[in-house]
Amino acid sequence: MSLEVEASVPDRDVEVALEVAEGETLAVIGPNGAGKSTVLSVVGGLLRPARGHVRLDGRVLTDDRTFVPPHGRRVALLAQDPLLFPHLSVRDNVAFGPRSGGAGRRTSREAAHRWLAEVGVEELAGRRPREVSGGEGQRVALARALAAEPRLLLLDEPMAALDVAVQPALRQTLRRVLAGRTTVLVTHDVLDALLLADRVVVMEGGRIVEAGRTADVLERPRSAFAARIAGLNMVRGPWLDGAVSGIRGIATGPAPGAGEPAVAVFRPSAVAVYREAPAGSPRNSLPVTITEVEPHGDAVRVRADHLAADVTPLAAAELELAPGLHVVFSVKATEVSVYRI
């Protein structure tokens, strides 16, 4: 493995262990306060854990006796804010890394132009940071990080502060330059995980609660957060009498054993909403209380008790759906996937 991390940070209630292979991009996702940025701080040398270790290419960066400072780790961090040096030109911002590493002025400037061209902003070389847009500034910051030739790249929500209109172009740039480069990416955006990451780990409450190939985690989530960003409803519970917490479905993979922890997942579009449970229906019927009613594309999304249903605007109007209303969510068993945790 290129990166090995095992860290305990009691003050933040974070306990993690993860590995990243050579040339792999690992996405770390989870709700606010889950501990994602703490992991990056430990890996980057901005925070020393109470216990544990960080190894990069077999070299110990952190353990009980060793603590390599950030500038000696060959690790680059790209955050939400580009943090460009305001008194330097774009070219000199990018050349800063090679210069700090001992390269000459000419070599550093050549490297700066090469990386600015790679991220598509070579024409900005002579400008100052105040003269570039947010999206352009983030590309410059990416070029500066790469020009330092890091062995590991850390990305902390790199598109969170950007307008939605400029995110797709930067995402495509990242997809190109991250190929074959060892990277840890913290993100809330499912598109970032799908398009940029080879694997994903999900953090909740300072712990890793699931991990795997990005597509597998999003298609078969085992945590509430992963289910939410994948756009799925999820119910957890023991497998009893052919159901998970009373919800019947179709087992995918080996069927859970009696009493074994399992999850049932289904799409909001598969859920019908009724004022009263339909008589004689073979569907799963879930009495719920509506908490939110909001537009969702061409549909209306109805949220209730940690579940969601998508209905037509006409149905929402006819049922007079509103927060506080007691209704029944109904879903066919054939629309529910059940699998072991």
Q: So where are the chain's domains?
A: 3-220, 231-340
Give the C-alpha distances (Å, rounded to integers) separating 167 from 115, 135, 138, 160, 317: 19, 8, 10, 9, 35
- Measure the CA–CA gap between 63 and 257, rounded to whole angstroms: 42
The pLDDT of residue 281 is 67
Contacts of 32 (CB under 8 A, 6+ apart): none
Q: Domain spanning 231-340 has what CATH number?
A: 2.40.50.100
Q: Does residue 202 carry a pLDDT above 80? A: yes
| Cα Rg of the chain, angstroms | 24
How many other C-beta atoms are found inside a 10 Å radius of the C-beta of residue 240?
14
For position 203, what pLDDT does the model report?
A: 95
Give 111-133 pLDDT, tens digit per residue: 999 999 988 889 999 999 999 98
The pLDDT of residue 283:
83
Contact call for residues 338 and 251 (beta carbons, < 8 A): yes
Q: What is the mean pLDDT of residues 332-336?
A: 93
| Mean pLDDT (whole number) for 155-169 | 80
Whether residue 218 has pLDDT greater than 90? no
- Tell me if domain 3-220 and domain 231-340 are identical in fold: no
Percent of the chain surpassing pLDDT 70: 99
**142 pLDDT higher than 80:** yes
> What would the mean pLDDT of 165-180 be, rounded to a whole number?
85
Q: Give me the half-sphere count of Cα atoms (radius 13 Å) on the Cβ side of residue 311.
A: 22
Q: Does residue 228 or residue 274 have the better pLDDT?
A: 274
Query: What are 58-86's pLDDT values in tens digits?
Result: 999 999 999 999 989 999 998 888 889 99
Query: What tens digit of pLDDT does each residue of 282-310 get?
Result: 689 999 999 999 999 899 999 998 999 99
Residue with the larger pLDDT of the pair 51 and 341: 51
Q: Per-residue pLDDT tens for 38-57?
A: 999 999 999 999 999 999 99
pLDDT of residue 279: 76
Phi/psi of residue 19, nearest 5 degrees: -135, 150
pLDDT for res 230? 87
pLDDT at 1: 67
Residues 150-160: pLDDT tens digits? 999 999 988 87
For residues 277 and 321, the model is more confident at: 321
Q: Which pair of tokens denotes residue 82?
A: 């580009």
Q: Please compute the mean of the pLDDT values over residues 212-225 and round it to a whole number.
A: 89
Superfamily of structural domain 3-220? P-loop containing nucleotide triphosphate hydrolases (3.40.50.300)
Lowest mean pLDDT among 97-101, 178-182, 229-233: 97-101
Residue 269: Cβ-neighbour burial (10 angstroms; 0-12, 13-18, 19+): middle
Q: For residue 184, give the nearest of 206, 164, 223, 211 by alpha carbon.
A: 211
Tell me what pLDDT residue 156 has.
Answer: 92
Judged by average pLDDT, the poorest of 151-155, 205-209, 248-252, 311-315 is: 248-252
Arithmetic mean of pLDDT, 20-47: 94
Query: What is the residue-averaged pLDDT of the chain?
Result: 91
